[in-house]
Every structure is written in structure tokens, then in C-alpha cells.
């Protein structure tokens, strides 16, 4: 049976009807990983034994004729900054190269509870700092659509693994676009939920007011199914929201009639490649043909988005990464003569260049004499950026935006840190304003995928899914898959 | 240059980082370029604007002051680079 690129929804049907056993399914995916991942390198740790054990449990349940939960038996993997008890969680950093967490993140507990099968941990930019996965301590991950190109980042392993059908779905994290940008580069669906909708407990913190765990899948339907499993209040995350959690699959309706969609004029300037502009135009046409109203809107503070983010995120990161000091866990430098020297050496040796750069920037922004001019100022501008969206949502139900200024670029092509930071301009606003946002496949450029984004009001994931599902069902992009044969 | 080499050395000490000569040069240059860009923010009048620390309007998220179970000591020491007699052992402080 050819089960390549089957969705969670389809696989559940096959499992329940006993056309396929959970062990066979897991084995098939493990074999795929061992073939494809030699080139793609999306994985950092593969948990073969644990996966097969879990699959056996699912098969027992099927034999007993019990009904499977929606994700039961479905193979998946976690970005390696999500703690999984007893399984290496490295954040792709030398600092945590041997770290085995004594507990699991809430999202991992919830997915385990849902019966999904963990195949392992996925590659990322070190401590989630980067946009190409080139900053991983271990190795880069290759884009399945063109192995000379980056998969994006920081959840590059997650996006590539889904695109290469090494997993049915993956979890990633998104602080400034780290799910949506790689989703766009790899032609998959990537959702960043509303800030507070998904628990950050057990997720190694980068920037606490911006981080969110999110979902990477092949289809919008699968995405809603996974969000169902992980979203919801968690008392162990102090910024977890209490909200009426819906069944997100109820929003998978093929209808955008009457929806008012705003397209910010500031998002379509010079920096956007002609290919992306074309994809936006075509998306607008598809949506209006289907009865939606798409009009220009304005986000006047767009030009301040990148500096605001890089001051806030790095400041918060400098604080969050202070815990890595060689004392209780992680890398410890040898031969330090006193404790301060141990701190300094462990951190100097354990952290990579980008991480050090951001810690330096954040420390400076928070330091005495500069705090007001940098960090506090950025927090105030953040209010204004959030205000742009509040204003727009008075008139519009959704915002349409590019996901990235262009398709995936080649390894080593971008080396200037500032140029890389500027590339995040379309994804950062949703993090600063705490809004839910989704990237879905919307076109191609020389064989490389291009995604577009929808943003909604807080807790508006339902509307995101409705628009994304409609666009998906009325286009063919999600049916196109990378030519992996040349990879194997 | 806005941020001098001395500034970079000072910040490195605050961040408990030691930089090589090359890193010192590179970071000084890169930090300057990012900070110059960040100076854009100075153009905006934010006199009357309140800062947003968190996008979600939550305050004072408390729980009852009751003791709850936490990780036992042995498990907590599992990842320690140097654990002795139930303690994390570190080089001398002074």
C-alpha cells in the first residue's frame, strides 16, 4: 500500500479499518527517515524503540475494537527545544548537547495522551535564534524542494520533515516567524496560535512574551486536528489564557463569502520579490472570486517592526539564557579557577555566534543608562504596532500578508545579521501583537514554494482555518510535493 | 561608532561571556549596525504611550500558597556536570 503523503485524517481511517497496523505505519515512517534523512537531515534524535513500543499499544487498542482518538497512531516529531522526558533535548546547542529532561512539556504530555507516536526530535537554529537552521550546532537541514536551499528557521527541521513526508505532522515554536517562515519555504501549513493559547511549560524559553508552540502539517485539516490536541489553559504557564477552546475542525468550511480581508499597503513595497507580489495578486483574485472583500489597509508602524522586535526579543533572551551557567545542567568548561570564570568559559564555549550576538544586544538594551532608550522605548512602540492591528480589525475580519519577501535562499547566501533580521518583517508583527497567524502554500517560484499568511484577532484561529481551508480547497498547491527521488 | 569597544567589553562581562579578539571586532561592528537601525525608534513620539510587556492582558497570576510536589533531588541532579553528596559542586566562589 502506498501511504506516501497521507494525512492524519486519512491514516486514522486506514488504522481504524485495520487496513494498516500502527506498527507497520510507524515502521514505514522510520524507514523513510533512514533513507531520506541522510540527505535532508531534519532529525537530531530518532526514538525508534519508543516509537514502536507506543505503536504496539495502539495496535492493542485496535485489536480490541476500540475507537481511536483523532491522532492516535499518527507518527510525528518535536522541535528540539520542546522537553521530552527521558529523551535528549538539545536546542541544537553545544550548551545542551547531553541534556535529558526529567519532565515533558505540556504539549508533549497532551500529544502523548492523544496517542500520537513520537519518532524523535527535530533540527533547529540554536536556541531558536535564526531563520535558516544554518545556526544549528549539529548540521544544517536541507530544503526537500531544492537541497541547495535552506528550509528556513528556526523550525527548519520541523518544516522539512513534514515536507519530505518523514512525519505526518510536527510541532515547532514561533517567536518572530520561526514556524511560518519555514512553512512557507517548505510548502507546508504552519500555524502560530494566539499568545497564551498553547502552553509554553517545558518549552525552552527564548523570548517569553513572544514564544508560542505551533503546528506544521501538510493540510489545514490536519493542522486543526493537532491544535485541538495541544491548545488550552495550563496552570503551569503563568501566561496561559483561560478561553473557550472550540473544536477547531468545525471551522473547516469552504466559504469566504462576505469576509472582509485587509491587505496592508506597507507590506507590498520594494523589498518584496516579483514572485511573491504575483502570488499575492493571484491569492487576492481567488479570494474575491469566492466572494470575499479584499481591500487595502494601512499598518503605519510597519517600518518599526524589525527594530522593535530585535530589542525586545534579544533583551528577553539575554534574561532567559542567563540560566545556562554550567552549574545545574548543560555544558561546563573545565579547568576554571573560580565560579565566575566557570560561568564565563562555559557560556563562551557552549553558545554559538548568533546566540552570543543576541545575548550581547539584549544585555546592552537592558543595561543601566540604555534601558529607557532601547528596551522601554521598544515596549512603547510595541503598543503602537499592536494598535495598528486593533484599528485594522475594526474594519476587517482578517489580514492577508506575504509570509516572506521571497522563496527559500541558498545556503551561505545571507550572512549579514541585519539583512537576515529584515527578512522577518511579515512574520514579526503577529508575535509582537500576540495574534494568531497561519502560513499556507500559495504558489511557486522556480520550483520553490511560496506561502501567504492570514492574521486574525486574538483567539481567531477558527477564522484563520476557514480562510486557509477555503484557499486550500480552491487551489492545487497543497497537492504538489517535492521530487524526493533525486534526494534518495 | 556608537558603541565602543569598551562598551562591548563591559556588556560581555555583564552577560558573563568572553569574546575572542575577532569576536570583539565583529560584534562591535554588527551591534553598531543593528543599533543604528534601532535608532529609527527614536523618531517616534511615545511620550503618552504605555509600554506593552505582554500582548495578553493578564496581571497578578497567582495560585494558593500551597506546597506542591516537585522533582526529587536525585532526578534533579541527573544532568549535573558535577554532583556530590546531593549538591551541585562548583569551583570556589572567591
Could you confirm whether A178 is annotated as catalytic?
Answer: yes
Report yes or no: A120 and A43 within 8 Å, Cβ to Cβ: yes
> Best of B15, B27, B30, B82 to disrupt the A interface by mutation (most A CBs within 10 Å)?
B15
pLDDT at A99 over 80: yes
Grid coordinates 528556513 are at which residue?
Answer: A152
pLDDT at A452 over 80: yes
pLDDT at residue A455, rounded to an integer:
98
Listed residue (A431, A456, A454, A430) closest to A442, CA to CA: A454
Q: Which three cell numbers stand for residue A31?
A: 524507514
Which of A301, A337, A363 lies at the smallest CB-CB distance from B91? Answer: A337
Catalytic residue among A61, A79, A94, A457: A79
| Contact check, Cβ <8 Å, B46/A384 | yes
pLDDT, tens digit, 9 for 90 and up, residues A345-377: 999 999 999 999 999 999 999 998 899 999 999
In Å, what is the CA distance from A264 to each residue of A303, A346, A454, A463?
Answer: 12, 45, 12, 19
pLDDT at residue A486, rounded to an integer:
52
| Contact check, Cβ <8 Å, A364/B58 | no
Residues of A in contact with B19 (CB under 8 A): 348, 356
| Contact check, Cβ <8 Å, A332/B71 | no
pLDDT, tens digit, 9 for 90 and up, residues B57-87: 888 999 999 999 999 999 999 999 999 999 9
Rounded average pLDDT over A132-145: 97
> Best of B33, B90, B92 to disrupt the A interface by mutation (most A CBs within 10 Å)?
B90
Report yes or no: A399 and A455 within 8 Å, Cβ to Cβ: yes
Q: CB within 8 A of A78, min separation 6: which ones?
A: A84, A108, A118, A120, A121, A122, A170, A171
Listed residue (A156, A179, A168, A132) closest to A33, CA to CA: A168
pLDDT, tens digit, 9 for 90 and up, residues A386-395: 999 999 999 9
Rounded average pLDDT over A188-203: 98
pLDDT at residue A440, rounded to an integer:
98
pLDDT at residue B15, rounded to an integer:
97
pLDDT at B94 over 80: no
Rounded average pLDDT over B29-52: 91
Distance from CA of A407 to the nearest CA of B (A): 24
Residues of B in contact with A386 (CB under 8 A): 52, 55
A 235-254 residues inside an 8 A Cβ radius of B: 235, 238-239, 241
Residues of A in contact with B94 (CB under 8 A): 338
pLDDT, tens digit, 9 for 90 and up, residues A406-449: 999 999 998 888 888 888 999 999 999 999 999 999 999 999 99
- The nearest alpha carbon in chain B to A415 belongs to B30
- The nearest alpha carbon in chain A to B71 belongs to A102
Residues of A in contact with B41 (CB under 8 A): 304, 307-308, 311, 377-378, 381
Percentage of chain A exceeding pLDDT 70: 99
How many whole angstroms separate alpha carbon A158 and alpha carbon A223? 14
Determine the Cα angle at A427 with ends A425 and A429, to 5°.
80
Distance from CA of B11 to the nearest CA of A (A): 6
pLDDT at residue A272, rounded to an integer:
87
pLDDT at residue A266, rounded to an integer:
95
pLDDT at A488 over 60: no
pLDDT at residue A485, rounded to an integer:
65
Mean pLDDT for all residues in chain A: 96
Residues of B in contact with A384 (CB under 8 A): 44, 46, 49
Could you confirm whether A403 is annotated as catalytic?
Answer: no
| Contact check, Cβ <8 Å, A102/B37 | no
| Contact check, Cβ <8 Å, A325/B16 | yes
Q: Which three cell numbers stand for residue A118?
A: 513520537
User: Angle at which helices A48-63 and A8-16 pack, to 10 degrees?
Assistant: 50
Rounded average pLDDT over A298-315: 96
Residue A434 contacts B where some CB pair is shorter than 8 Å: yes
Report yes or no: A182 and A190 within 8 Å, Cβ to Cβ: yes
Whether residue A154 is preceded by a cis peptide bond, meaning omega within 30 degrees of 0, is yes
Residue A351 contacts B where some CB pair is shorter than 8 Å: yes
DSSP β-ladder status, B83-84 and B87-88: antiparallel
pLDDT at residue A487, rounded to an integer:
56
Could you confirm whether A485 is annotated as catalytic?
Answer: no
Which of A307, A310, A338 lies at the smallest CB-CB distance from B92? Answer: A338
Q: Residue A452: phi, psi to the nearest 5?
A: -125, 160
Q: How confident is the model at residue A472 (pLDDT cuts 50, 70, 90)?
A: very high
* ipTM, two decimals: 0.95
How many whole angstroms separate alpha carbon A292 and alpha carbon B68? 52
Catalytic residue among A136, A155, A178, A346: A178
pLDDT, tens digit, 9 for 90 and up, residues A109-131: 999 999 999 999 999 999 999 99
In Å, what is the CA distance from B47 to each residue of A203, A299, A300, A380, B43?
Answer: 36, 20, 18, 9, 12
pLDDT at residue B1, rounded to an integer:
52
pLDDT, tens digit, 9 for 90 and up, residues A260-297: 999 999 998 877 889 999 999 999 999 999 999 999 99
Residues of B in contact with A319 (CB under 8 A): none
Amino acid at each position: 500500500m502506498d501511504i506516501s503523503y497521507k494525512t492524519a485524517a486519512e491514516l486514522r481511517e486506514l488504522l481504524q479499518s485495520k487496513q494498516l497496523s500502527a506498527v507497520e505505519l510507524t515502521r514505514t515512517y522510520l524507514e523513510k527517515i533512514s533513507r531520506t534523512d541522510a540527505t535532508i537531515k531534519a532529525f537530531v534524535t530518532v526514538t525508534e524503540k519508543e516509537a514502536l513500543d507506543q505503536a504496539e499499544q495502539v495496535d492493542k487498542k485496535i485489536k480490541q475494537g476500540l475507537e481511536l482518538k483523532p491522532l492516535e497512531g499518527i507518527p510525528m516529531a518535536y522541535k528540539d527545544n520542546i522537553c521530552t522526558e527521558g529523551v535528549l533535548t538539545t536546542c541544537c546547542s553545544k550548551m545542551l548537547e547531553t541534556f535529558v529532561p526529567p519532565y515533558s512539556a505540556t504539549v508533549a504530555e497532551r500529544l502523548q495522551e492523544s496517542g500520537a507516536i513520537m519518532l524523535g526530535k527535530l533540527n533547529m537554529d540554536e536556541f531558536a535564534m535564526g531563520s535558516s537552521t544554518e545556526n544549528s550546532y549539529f548540521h544544517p537541514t536541507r530544503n526537500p524542494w531544492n537541497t541547495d536551499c535552506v528550509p528556513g528557521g528556526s523550525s527548519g527541521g520541523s518544516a522539512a520533515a513534514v515536507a519530505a513526508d518523514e512525519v505526518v505532522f510536527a510541532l515547532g515554536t514561533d517567536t518572530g516567524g520561526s514556524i511560518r517562515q519555514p512553512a512557507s519555504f517548505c510548502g507546508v501549513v504552519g500555524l502560530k496560535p494566539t499568545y497564551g493559547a498553547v502552553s509554553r511549560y517545558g518549552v525552552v524559553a527564548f523570548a517569553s512574551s513572544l514564544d508560542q508552540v505551533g503546528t506544521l502539517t501538510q493540510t489545514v485539516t490536519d493542522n486543526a486536528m493537532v491544535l485541538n490536541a495541544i491548545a488550552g489553559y495550563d496552570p503551569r504557564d503563568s501566561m496561559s489564557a483561560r478561553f473557550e477552546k472550540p473544536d477547531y475542525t468545525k471551522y473547516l468550511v469552504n466559504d469566504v463569502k462576505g469576509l472582509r480581508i485587509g491587505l496592508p499597503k506597507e507590506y507590498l513595497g520594494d523589498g518584496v520579490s516579483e514572485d511573491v507580489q504575483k502570488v499575492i495578486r493571484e491569492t487576492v483574485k481567488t479570494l474575491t472570486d469566492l466572494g470575499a472583500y479584499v481591500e487595502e489597509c494601512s499598518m503605519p508602524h510597519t517600518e518599526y517592526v524589525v527594530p522593535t522586535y530585535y530589542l525586545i526579543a534579544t533583551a528577553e533572551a539575554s534574561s532567559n539564557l542567563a540560566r545556562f551557567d554550567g552549574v545545574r545542567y548543560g555544558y561546563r568548561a573545565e579547568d576554571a579557577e573560580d565560579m565566575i570564570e566557570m560561568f564565563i568559559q562555559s557560556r563562551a564555549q557552549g553558545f554559538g555566534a548568533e546566540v552570543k550576538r543576541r545575548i550581547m544586544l539584549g544585555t546592552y538594551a537592558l543595561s543601566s543608562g540604555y534601558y529607557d532608550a532601547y528596551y522601554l522605548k521598544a515596549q512603547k512602540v510595541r503598543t503602537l504596532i499592536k494598535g495598528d492591528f486593533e484599528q485594522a480589525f475594526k474594519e476587517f475580519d482578517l489580514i492577508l500578508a506575504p509570509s516572506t519577501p521571497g522563496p527559500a535562499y541558498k545556503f551561505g547566501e545571507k550572512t549579514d545579521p541585519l539583512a537576515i533580521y529584515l527578512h522577518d518583517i511579515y512574520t514579526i508583527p503577529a508575535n509582537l501583537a500576540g495574534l494568531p497567524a497561519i502560513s499556507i502554500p500559495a504558489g511557486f517560484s522556480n520550483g520553490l514554494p511560496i506561502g501567504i499568511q492570514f492574521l486574525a484577532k486574538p483567539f481567531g484561529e477558527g477564522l484563520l482555518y476557514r480562510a486557509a481551508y477555503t484557499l486550500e480547497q480552491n487551489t492545487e498547491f497543497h497537492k504538489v510535493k517535492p521530487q524526493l527521488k533525486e534526494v534518495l | 561608532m556608537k558603541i565602543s569597544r569598551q562598551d562591548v567589553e563591559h556588556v560581555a562581562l555583564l552577560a558573563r561571556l568572553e569574546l575572542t579578539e575577532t569576536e570583539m571586532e565583529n560584534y562591535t561592528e554588527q551591534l553598531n549596525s543593528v543599533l543604528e537601525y534601532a535608532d529609527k525608534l527614536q523618531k517616534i513620539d511615545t511620550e503618552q504611550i504605555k509600554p506593552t510587556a505582554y500582548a495578553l492582558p493578564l496581571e497578578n497570576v497567582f495560585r494558593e500558597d500551597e506546597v506542591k510536589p516537585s522533582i526529587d533531588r536525585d532526578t534533579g541532579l541527573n544532568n549535573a556536570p558535577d554532583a556530590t553528596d546531593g549538591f551541585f559542586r562548583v569551583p570556589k566562589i572567591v
